[in-house]
Chain A
Amino acid sequence: MFDRRLYHEVCRELRAPEEKIEEILTMTKTNSPKKHRRPVRTALVAAAAVAMMAVGVSAANPQAVQNMFVQIATVVRVDEFRQEMTTTDGEQMTVLSLPKIQVENRDGRAVLVVDEEETDITDALAQDGSYVYEKATQEGTKLTVTVKGSGAEDWTMEVSMFEDGEEVLSYSGKSGEDSLGVGGSIEGMPEDWEVNVGEGEENISAAITVTDSSGCVALDKTVSD
């Protein structure tokens, strides 16, 4: 039987490490609160995302891609969508972080959800056939979501991200597909390529490989925190 009292005891014993709490508390004490060292997981996700974008750029000429080894020195959060990564070689990369974006059907109403922000776009779709959501940050990043269609069960969506006016990322979706989010297909990446991240030494490094359907390695990155 499900013992609720026992479950309470179990959950009370699940506690975050004190050193992690202290680390979070010190975020307010730095001179520049936005600059902080991100955990290994985020750095690895960031690196994998960069790998995917780099692969996208190189897709036209896979023969030219060579093995690359990247060591991340710092990750700086620029705004809610963008992080700037600097390798130990001084190379700078931009990592884009996409919020949850989906169109939900709630009792026949089309609701656009961007992270926690919800907008009923049913009437806009019915009247204009489209709805555009835009969010810009002071640091020059802009997220644009364009939904076209007739209603909650018939729509297409284009998501674009701009950095200082230049489009850096775009992808699309439509009703009937799984909701979009981080890791959605990125323009330029061949469909038969696969990104894999395998862990190296515990919490120290990870190897990111990209292979095509024949198993040939197109890109090989090792990142560490």
Chain B
Amino acid sequence: MTEEAFGHAVRTYGDTVYRVALHALKNPADAEDVMQTVMLRLLESGRDFESEEHLKHWILRVAVNESRKVLRSFWRRTSVPLEEWRDGPAPEDREKTELLRAVMGLETKYRLTVYLYYYEGCTVAEVAAALGANPSTVQTWLLRARKRLRRELREEEEKEEPGYVRPQIVP
């Protein structure tokens, strides 16, 4: 892989790897470490990728696996509260904070499924390949994740004090 190609890959997919790892580990520092590891593996792999899609899916698969290594390690940092993420939603953005908290409250496999499917736009088959699962299993995970998110976010809405009105843009 040329230096130029590597630079392109880092600029294009660095944030992607970071987000995958963050969803898996819920810790920004660990996510940065995984990002560095994945990019180093890319640099050292010497692989030629058939297409941009091929590269992307290789990176996603390796990012998931490297994140799992950290999860399996007998030592890892504890999760960091959302409020301490320097790049998380602004504290005053309540909706975003609640949504991210709800997603991060899911089990790891559901978090990763939600991220890959809804943000990266992966198909069920592509998510399955990245996570090393069967497509039918991924379908089930998506259903359960959506159900739990609905329940969690509905509970958050019900907790709001009576009389509270969310700021809305009035047309």
Query: What is A's interface to B at a CB cutoff of 8 Å?
Result: 1-4, 6-11, 13-17, 20-21, 23-25, 27-29, 33-34, 36, 39, 41-42, 44-45, 48, 77, 80, 100, 113, 115-116, 181-183, 195, 197, 199, 203
8 interchain residue pairs of minimum CB distance: A183-B74, A16-B18, A181-B72, A197-B75, A2-B149, A39-B33, A11-B119, A28-B3
20 contacts between A and B (CB under 8 A): A3-B95, A6-B99, A10-B100, A13-B89, A14-B15, A14-B88, A17-B87, A20-B35, A20-B36, A21-B14, A25-B6, A25-B7, A28-B3, A28-B6, A36-B40, A41-B30, A44-B75, A48-B75, A116-B65, A183-B75
* Residue B51 lies at the interface, judged by CB distance under 8 Å to chain A: no
A21–B10 touching, CB < 8 Å: yes
* A115 nearest in chain B by CB position: B65
A14–B87 touching, CB < 8 Å: yes
A28–B7 touching, CB < 8 Å: yes
A67 to chain B, nearest CB (A): 20
B18–A14 touching, CB < 8 Å: yes
Chain A residues with CB under 8 A of B68: 100, 181
B95–A27 touching, CB < 8 Å: no
Docked complex Cα distance between A113 and B15 (Å): 27
Chain A residues with CB under 8 A of B103: 7
Docked complex Cα distance between A52 and B3 (Å): 38
Chain B residues with CB under 8 A of A11: 19, 115, 119
* Residue B39 lies at the interface, judged by CB distance under 8 Å to chain A: yes
Query: What is B's interface to A at a CB cutoff of 8 Å?
Result: 3, 6-7, 10-11, 14-15, 17-19, 22, 29-33, 35-37, 39-40, 43-44, 61-62, 65, 68-70, 72-77, 87-89, 95-96, 99-100, 102-103, 114-115, 118-119, 132, 146, 149-150, 153-154
Chain B residues with CB under 8 A of A48: 74-75
A192 to chain B, nearest CB (A): 15
Docked complex Cα distance between A29 and B3 (Å): 8
Chain A residues with CB under 8 A of B18: 14-16
Chain A residues with CB under 8 A of B154: 1
Interface of B is mostly: helix
Chain B residues with CB under 8 A of A33: 43-44
B74–A10 touching, CB < 8 Å: no
Chain B residues with CB under 8 A of A27: 39-40, 43
A75 to chain B, nearest CB (A): 13
B153 is contacted by which of A2, A23, A197 (Cβ under 8 Å)? A2
Known: A20-B35, A24-B14. A183 touches B7 (CB 8 A): no
B70 to chain A, nearest CB (A): 8
A13–B87 touching, CB < 8 Å: yes
Known: A7-B119, A45-B75, A182-B72. A28 touches B43 (CB 8 A): yes
Known: A11-B19, A13-B88, A14-B19. A34 touches B65 (CB 8 A): no
A183–B72 touching, CB < 8 Å: yes
Docked complex Cα distance between A44 and B73 (Å): 11
Known: A7-B119, A100-B69. A20 touches B32 (CB 8 A): yes
Docked complex Cα distance between A29 and B4 (Å): 11
B45 to chain A, nearest CB (A): 10
Known: A2-B153, A24-B10. A15 touches B40 (CB 8 A): no
Chain B residues with CB under 8 A of A25: 6-7, 10
* A113 nearest in chain B by CB position: B132
* A22 nearest in chain B by CB position: B10
Docked complex Cα distance between A207 and B70 (Å): 19
Chain B residues with CB under 8 A of A34: 44
Chain A residues with CB under 8 A of B119: 7-8, 11
